[in-house]
Amino acid sequence: MAACAGGGGSSAPSPPAFLIGALAAATTGATPPTTASGGFQQATQPGVNFTLAAGSTPAAGTAFALTQSALQVTTTGLSADTATNAATATLSLLNLSSSANSFELKLPSLGVDADLSFGAATDTALAGGGYASLNDLTPGGIGGLDYAIMGEWLLKDASDANVTHAGVFLAGYQTPVANMPTSGTATYSLNSGAAGELFLPKPGSFGQASQLNLAGDVSLTANFGTGAISGALTNMVASAPGSTTTTPWNSVSLNGSISGDTFSGATAATTAPSNADALASSATGSLSGGFYGPWADEVGAVWTLSDGAKSAVGVFGAATSFTVSPPAAATTGATPPTTATGGFQQATQASPNFTLASGSIPAAGTAFALTQSALQVTTTGLSADAATNAATATLSLVNLSSSATSFELKL
Question: pLDDT digits over 358-368, tens only?
Answer: 778 888 999 98
Whether residue 9 has pLDDT greater than 60:
no
Q: Tens digits of per-residue pLDDT, 269-305?
A: 999 999 999 999 999 999 999 999 999 999 999 999 9
164, 249: one domain = yes
Does residue 315 sit in the same domain as residue 331?
no
Q: What average pLDDT does the segment 64-82 reach?
A: 96
In 3D space, the residue among 68, 155, 138, 76 whose CA is nearest the CA of residue 101 turns out to be 138
Domain of residue 383, residue span: 327-411
Domain CATH for 177: 2.40.160.90
Domain finish residue from 287, 321, 355: 321
Same domain, 357 and 230: no
Residue 1 lies in a domain: no
Is residue 147 domain-shared with residue 269, that is, in the same domain? yes
Above 60 in pLDDT, residue 10? no
SS3 call for 36: helix
Hey, what amino acid is at 5? Answer: A
Please check whether residues 210 and 123 belong to one and the same domain.
yes
Mean of the pLDDT values across residues 80-93?
A: 97
Task: Mark whether 295 and 395 lie in a shared domain.
Answer: no
Residue 8 lies in a domain: no
Is 5 within the bounds of a domain?
no
Residue 176 is assigned to a structural domain of this protein:
yes
Mean pLDDT of 162-167: 96
Count the domains in the chain: 2
What DSSP letter does each residue of 79-135 carry, written as one string?
Answer: EE-HHHHHSPPEEEEEEE-SS-EEEEEEEGGGTEEEEE-BT-SSPEEPTTSSEEEEE
Element (H, E) at 388: helix 386-390
Enter the pTM of the model: 0.79
Q: Is residue 396 part of a domain?
A: yes
3-state secondary structure of 223: strand
Give tens-digit pLDDT for 360-397. Answer: 888 899 998 999 999 887 766 777 888 999 999 999 98
Question: Mean pLDDT in the chain?
Answer: 92
Specify whether 331 is located in the same domain as 315.
Answer: no
Query: In terms of domains, do 357 and 258 share one?
Result: no
- pLDDT score, position 74: 92
pLDDT in tens, 262-272: 999 999 999 99
Q: Is the pLDDT of residue 194 over 80?
A: yes
238 and 379 together in one domain:
no
Q: Indicate if 223 and 85 belong to the same structural domain.
A: yes
Q: Are residues 168 and 276 in the same domain?
A: yes
Give CA–CA dist 326/375, Å, rounded.
Answer: 10
Do 280 and 384 fall into the same domain? no
pLDDT at residue 42 in the model: 97
Average pLDDT over residues 184-208: 91
pLDDT (tens digit per residue) in 38-59: 999 999 988 899 998 878 999 9
By the 10 Å C-beta count (0-12 exposed, 13-18 middle, 19+ buried), 387 is classed as exposed
